[in-house]
Amino acid sequence: MESPTRLVILHRDDDLVAVDKPSGMAVHRGWARDGVPALQVLRDQLGRHVYPVHRLDRATSGVLLFALSGESARQVQVQLEAHEVGKRYLALCRGCDPALVRVDHPLAREEDGEPRPAVTDFKLLGRFERYGLYEARPLTGRRHQIRRHLKHASHPIIGDTKYGKGEHNRIFRQRFGFHRLALHASEMRLRHPRSGEPLQVQAPLPPELARLLSELGLSAETTSSSTAAPPVRDR
C-alpha cells in the first residue's frame, strides 16, 4: 500500500486530534516493515509532535486518536486503563448467529504468556448468505481482541490473514474484489482530558467497505449508532 501524504482529520482541538486511519497503515514505526506510519504522517501534516494513545491494528481502518501533549496523553491513558473509553467496531464475518452477543475469553499477549481477562460484546446487524455483519464493543483492550474473540466463536473476520479462513478470504477477493480486513473502528467515546465533557468521534465507512456492504444489501444506515451510550466499564 502506498502511504497517503495526509490523513483525514475527524476531530481536532488544543489537546486531541483524531484521524481516519486507512487499512494497511501502521500506527508507528516498528508495527510494519514498509510504508510511512500514521504517527509520522500526522506529525508532518500538523508540523508538531503528536502522542499516540491507543492501538489500532495495521489492517483495521477507522478512528485513531492522538494527544497533542504528554499530559493529555496520560489522562486519556488513565481512562483506557480503567476501561472507560467506549469503542465501536464493524466486522464482517463468516457466520451469522444472533445468539452471539458476548465472548468472555481470556487472551495472552504472547502464545506462551499468561491469559488475561478479555470481554467483547457483539450484535448481529445483518446477514448475507452465510456471512454476518456484526457490531463489536470491546470491554477490555487486549491485543487483536476482536479478531481473536471472533475466531474463538467460529466467526472469523473476512480478510483476516492471521486468524481468519483462507477459503472465505479467497471468495471475497474473487467474487467481490475485496482485498482487506473487514474490520472498521467506527466510533470512540471518552471524556475530554481538559474539560471532562463527553467526546464522541466517528469515522465513516471507507469506500471499499461501503461498496462491499452495498453489494451485500447492507447499507451504511444499518451500521450507524442509534444512541450515544456512555463509555463502557469492566463488568
**Choosing from 15, 20, 57, 160, which is the catalytic residue?**
57
For the question of residue 57 being annotated catalytic, the response is yes
Residue with cell 500514521: 38
* Cα–chain center distance at 97: 21
Report in angstroms the alpha-carbon separations of 163 from 130, 144, 156, 218: 18, 9, 7, 24
20 to 8, 96, 159, 175: CA distances (angstroms): 5, 28, 20, 27
Which distant-in-sequence residues (6+ apart) come within 8 Å of 118 by Cβ?
A: 104, 105, 106, 107, 138, 140, 142, 145, 148, 149
- Reading the block at residue 33, the C-alpha cell is 516493515
Q: Specify the 3-state DSSP secondary structure of 158.
A: coil
The DSSP secondary-structure symbol of 221 reads G
Positions annotated as catalytic residues are 57
